[in-house]
Amino acid sequence: MSLFRNLMFLLLLLTCSTCANKADNVEEDFTRYVNPNIGTTHSRWFFYTPAALPFGMAKLAPSTNGSYGNKSGWEAVGYEDGHTSIEGFACFHEFQIGGVMLMPVVGEVKTRPGSLETPHEGYRSKFDKNTEVATTGYYSVVLNDYDTKVELTATDRVGYQRYIFPETDSAYIIFDIGNQLGESGAVKDAHIRLIDNQTIDGFVTTTPEYVKKYQSGTDLTMFFYAKLDKPVEESLVFLRGEKPLFGNEIKGVGSTMAVKFSTKEEERVLVKIGLSYTSIDNAKLNYETEAAAKTFEEAKQAAHEVWKEKIGRIRVTGGTNDDKIKFYTGLYHAILGRGLASDVNGAYPKNDGSIGQIETDSQGTPAHHHYNTDAIWGAFWNLTQLWTLAYPEYYSDWIKSQLLVYKDTGWLGDGIANSRYVSGVGTNFTGLAIAAAYNCGFRDFDINLAYEAAFKNEIDGKSRPLGAGKPDVSFFVENGFAPYAPELQNKTVPECWMFGTSHTLEYSFSCYAVAQFAKQLNKTKDYGLLNKLAGSWENIFDKETHLMRPRLTDGSFIKDFDPTAPWIGFQEGNAIQYTFYVPHEPERLIEKVGQNIFNNRLDSIFIISQSNIFGGGKELNAFSGLHALYNHGNQPNLQTAWLFNFSGKPHLTQKWTRTICNEFYGTEGIHGYGYGQDEDQGQLGAWYVMAAMGLFDVKGLTEENPKMQLGSPLFERIEIKLNQKYYPGDTFVIETENNSKENKYVQSLSLNGKIQKSVFIPFSDIASGGKVKLTMGANPDTE
């Protein structure tokens, strides 16, 4: 991020702070702390979408290299903080989904976007960072090569793009539809047509890499219906790189259309783009319902109000400006991702490619929404805890989305894109997430169907589709562990047999979660089976090294064991990192290792890891920390710093969680979520939010009666507004005294006015609107 932009952002904060002090009666707008440009160096396709609503379908953003695509479906692509040219403004940004890009140009129409190195060879334009404005629900920038300002905003399912042109007789808007974009994968088909001089519609069908991998032979389609507020004078059509021709329609891979206008100086041209994953008719309906009568300014203001309400559900007082910027930017990312897939009428894309229909009431309002989602791998240590506290209505709809897929296919998905299977890592924690919601009192979904789906997900491997994850679950159920079997990797995808050791730990955890679900439903036999499987992690615990160690198919431990080597039995990690992955039975793990050894080892790991910024140092790579002792830039470690709460050293949880907040997280483009590490649709941001509140559950709310653990809050006061449709309380409050950078250790605490020594807080007390008070000090309380 440029020095100029940093200074402007700080001036905005200071100005807003002054205004707030002068008008105490005005409700504080916490969106002012959100800076979408943080962490945009080496970020994923879906990461940077400032012109969007929380959990929305329309997610608009500039693209600097989205047209490059990505080989494996996950590499960093889209918007890069260090790039100096823009190739267009895309409307769809999701995991494995990208498309419908528009670009305003003036003068000659070029038929390729051009490259970052030679932007003049295409229609991309250079821009200056100091002309960028990115806030919640709005983005703008000036395109230098065309002397044109671009503004973006959105409703849930409609993107707004407004261009302020110079005086010219050759202003164009390019509709780049039929080309690969971001994580979309290769384009299979596309169609664009100019229906009348103010209406354009079409679609693009793509084959994302993860869809090809986990549901081979299928694809996904994005539809659009665009309305312009200025009549088109003429239209050109072309395939990328080919000569443009006059025409009103074009089909096939590479399809692009350019529509022409004559404009006066600073004339505004507005395009509203209705979006859908089901049909052009529903894209049109989404436009008519959400945007036909709404101006750009009205949409922008409405977007701001939605963000203000959602962000404002958690209100913090005290702390530094940087603390608040990191907190609310993390919260922003946590509720930005995993967006809408259903239309205003409840139509949604089914797994088989047909159109499904969510039940509606007498007014035609759908009973719930359907959502796309990356895998929930690791999200029980960040997103689902945050959803439970502040956004339970979304969590409930997320569960109902998963149950729609189950009803349509007979299996829970892991990740889903347009309901297609896009299993992120070949596991499946959806059943765990459903069970955790039930434990926290959610009852507004089909409980019997949910249990059926969750139980099947844990124990059934027969005819299991690859996209449902857990391909080695039958071996696990029959043998009490999943093997490391490299001899089988060429017969299937690596996730099937290369990561059995981490799978054993993960399956043990999810079996525990669903076991608690079974127990509450009086499924005694199921509970017995699941509870036994939950202890399977002990079968891979090596008593000699006190580490988790891969076993071969014959049950023997691997030889030449290197505890720091990733990928050998462990998904995106190593034995040292994964040894602490027993979240459901940390007490038993501590007992097996020995309390003193456990504490000394874990503390030493953090002491050493601090020199690498708790990950891969400053290497810009999503996997830069895989060889490290601790890697905060990836999911398998996110509970580790909280384990001291179970090992008799809660002051070390207080020390290290606060240190990670201060040092791993930053407020720059290059240093946001580590250095170029994978934020994964809000997971790292949500972890910061939970840690900065000093509230976390190692067990991911999977206990029958969940309890959260306390850490070291960064703020003097934290208020979480509770949804009284789900909880009896109105607000849960955490207050601290004597809190400062130096005073990070809890000296005493009370819950609802009663002093207690334990750092464990029953979730029921949180849901009832409880209050925690902490007295902080510079020295750890070791008693």
149-163 tens-digit pLDDT: 999 999 999 999 999
36-310 and 312-338+373-772, same CATH topology: no
Other Cβ atoms closer than 10 A to 166: 15
Say what the pLDDT of residue 209 is. 95
Kindly indicate the confidence band of residue 23, based on its pLDDT and cuts at 50, 70 and 90: very low
Angstrom distance (rounded) from CA 392 to CA 373: 16
Residue 708 CB partners (closer than 8 Å, separation 6+): 385, 695, 696, 697, 760, 761, 763, 766
- According to DSSP, the residues that pair with 268 across neighbouring strands are 164
**Mean per-residue pLDDT for 252-258?**
98
Angstrom distance (rounded) from CA 304 to CA 274: 20
8 pLDDT more than 70: no
The closest alpha carbon to 184, from 166, 165, 203, belongs to 203
- Lowest mean pLDDT of 321-325, 556-560, 615-619, name the range: 615-619
Q: To the nearest whole number, what is the mean pLDDT of the chain?
A: 94
**Mean per-residue pLDDT for 214-238?**
97
Contact 707, 762 (CB under 8 A): yes
Other Cβ atoms closer than 10 A to 337: 29
Residue 775, both tokens: 């007295």
Class of domain 312-338+373-772: mainly alpha
Write the CA distances from 428 to 10, 421, 493, integer angstroms: 42, 11, 16
Kindly indicate the confidence band of residue 26, based on its pLDDT and cuts at 50, 70 and 90: low
Q: DSSP 3-state assignment of 614?
A: coil
Reported as type and span, the H/E element at residue 321 is helix 321-336
Kindly indicate the confidence band of residue 491, based on its pLDDT and cuts at 50, 70 and 90: low
Burial class (CB in 10 A: 0-12, 13-18, 19+), 557: middle
Say what the pLDDT of residue 112 is. 97
Say what the pLDDT of residue 425 is. 87
pLDDT digits (tens, 9 = 90+) for 51-80: 999 999 999 999 999 999 988 888 999 999
**Mean per-residue pLDDT for 153-175?**
98
Helix (DSSP H) and strand (DSSP E) numbers for the chain:
18, 34
Contact 78, 61 (CB under 8 A): yes
pLDDT digits (tens, 9 = 90+) for 281-297: 999 999 999 999 999 99
pLDDT digits (tens, 9 = 90+) for 725-755: 999 999 999 999 999 999 999 999 999 999 9
Taking CB atoms within 8 Å and a gap of at least 24, the contacts of 512-515 are 512/584, 512/585, 512/702, 513/431, 513/432, 513/435, 513/436, 513/584, 513/700, 513/702, 514/431, 514/432, 514/435, 514/454, 514/455, 514/457, 514/458
Integer-rounded Cα radius of gyration of the chain: 26
Other Cβ atoms closer than 10 A to 448: 8
Say what the pLDDT of residue 678 is. 76
Class of domain 36-310: mainly beta
Residue 531, both tokens: 């509870």
Q: What percent of the chain has pLDDT over 70?
A: 96
Strands (E), 675-768: 695-696, 707-710, 717-721, 731-737, 745-751, 754-756, 760-762
Q: What percent of the chain has pLDDT over 90?
A: 90
**Mean per-residue pLDDT for 360-368?**
96
Angstrom distance (rounded) from CA 468 to CA 477: 16
Domain ranges of the chain: 1-33, 36-310, 312-338+373-772
pLDDT digits (tens, 9 = 90+) for 442-473: 999 999 999 999 999 999 999 999 999 999 99
pLDDT digits (tens, 9 = 90+) for 240-254: 999 999 999 999 999
pLDDT digits (tens, 9 = 90+) for 381-413: 999 999 999 999 999 999 999 999 999 999 999
Say what the pLDDT of residue 21 is. 46
Angstrom distance (rounded) from CA 152 to CA 59: 10
Residue 620 CB partners (closer than 8 Å, separation 6+): 41, 42, 670, 675, 676
Say what the pLDDT of residue 622 is. 78
12 pLDDT more than 60: no
Contact 464, 424 (CB under 8 A): no
Angstrom distance (rounded) from CA 68 to CA 508: 40
pLDDT digits (tens, 9 = 90+) for 509-523: 999 999 999 999 999
Angstrom distance (rounded) from CA 232 to CA 244: 17
Strands (E), 380-439: 416-417, 420-421
**Mean per-residue pLDDT for 178-190?**
97
Angstrom distance (rounded) from CA 349 to CA 295: 29
**Mean per-residue pLDDT for 668-697?**
92
7 pLDDT more than 50: no
22 pLDDT more than 80: no
Say what the pLDDT of residue 6 is. 52
Reported as type and span, the H/E element at residue 221 is strand 220-228
Q: What single-letter DSSP state applies at residue 366?
A: B
2 pLDDT more than 60: no
